[in-house]
Amino acid sequence: MYKVLILAVTVLFTTCKTTKPVQSDNDSMEASETISEPTNISSTEKEVTLEASVKTNLEYLASDELEGRNTGTAGIEKAAVFIEDFFKKHDVKPYFTTYRDSFNLKKIVGYNVVGFVEGNDPKLKNEFIILGAHYDHIGTAKAVNGDTIANGANDDASGTVAVMEWAKYFAKSKSNKRSMLFTLYAAEEMGLKGSGHLAKRLKKENLNLYTMINLEMIGVPRSEEEKMAYITGFDRSNIADKLNTYAKSEIIGFFPKAKEYQLFMRSDNYPFYQQFGIPAHAISTFDFTNFEYYHHVDDEADKMDYAHMTRFINSMIPAIEGMTNSVSKEIKMNNE
């Protein structure tokens, strides 16, 4: 999550294996049946359906019922179950024995939720791509008109919903040659603890990780003259250029303040870069000028731009498919 520099205030990003599943020690829940969807609908109808799904899912994740999704609370447990049920409904398999990757923070137990879509190529399926976002938030914040629940709609229910929709898409389309993990992290707000735990675990298990993209606050659009989104660590790899090439559209741009605020190191992409030394970046559409409710009780679902979110999710699909399907590893660190 971003902690930003607004006016004269310094704000930073938070401390904001194979192809067969492996055994996990302290997890729960099983995968279940797939639910088929109609295929003979127009692109416009699909867009409307996607926007409705995005809105419904985000409204729940950012609802008062979840009490701000603080790690270790009943609210984030409800969020984890919701994501698991979504994965089961759309035939996104668990990567471990169940969807949960569990970790301890003193007396708090946290859960990352990890879905898996196997690649369709006999060789390339042994390589992995990770799409991730954090589904936790801070719980409560300074009261405004009696409201103390910080629902975290933009931060980061928006990124969470995008990852869920891509998981649904690839589980149905099976258009990915490489295997994919769809990872939702707890304890990002406590210092990237969830993503840090999962990155270390996957490294220990020798996951052949090609690239990782983290989605951070994509609920509001940038100004019309800007690229739709920007990527952190722009100069560290050629990923922005490759994603735009695959998408045949200039979706991802350079944001000068990203380096100034050291955003590359302040979100859930960074532990994967540290562990694997591969292109691992965060993509955002929040640029510090277009949303004023960071860690604020007014970061609410009714302030999200669902048409923008739908355009972004759809625009990224060919970019992600290009990344999953290239014959060679075309995305590289710039020092290679």
Domains contained in the chain, CATH given: 43-325 (3.40.630.10)
Residue 17 in this model has a pLDDT that exceeds 70: no
* Cα 86 to Cα 56, 79, 217, distances in angstroms: 12, 11, 21
Residue-level pLDDT at 1: 56
d(CA 333, CA 60): 38
Over residues 26-50, the pLDDT tens digits come to 443 333 333 334 456 677 888 889 9
Nearest in space to 119 (alpha carbons), one of 196, 56, 173, 50: 173
How large a percentage of the chain has pLDDT more than 90? 85
Range name among 45-54, 204-213, 289-298 with the lowest pLDDT average = 45-54
Chain-wide mean pLDDT for the chain?
A: 90
Find out whether 140 and 148 touch, Cβ atoms under 8 Å.
Answer: yes
Q: Which residues pair with 96 in a beta bridge?
A: 22
Residue-level pLDDT at 48: 86
Give every CB contact of residue 9 below 8 A, 6+ residues apart in sequence.
none
Find out whether 323 and 211 touch, Cβ atoms under 8 Å.
Answer: yes
Over residues 158-201, the pLDDT tens digits come to 999 999 999 999 999 999 999 999 999 999 999 999 999 999 99
pTM, two decimals, is: 0.88
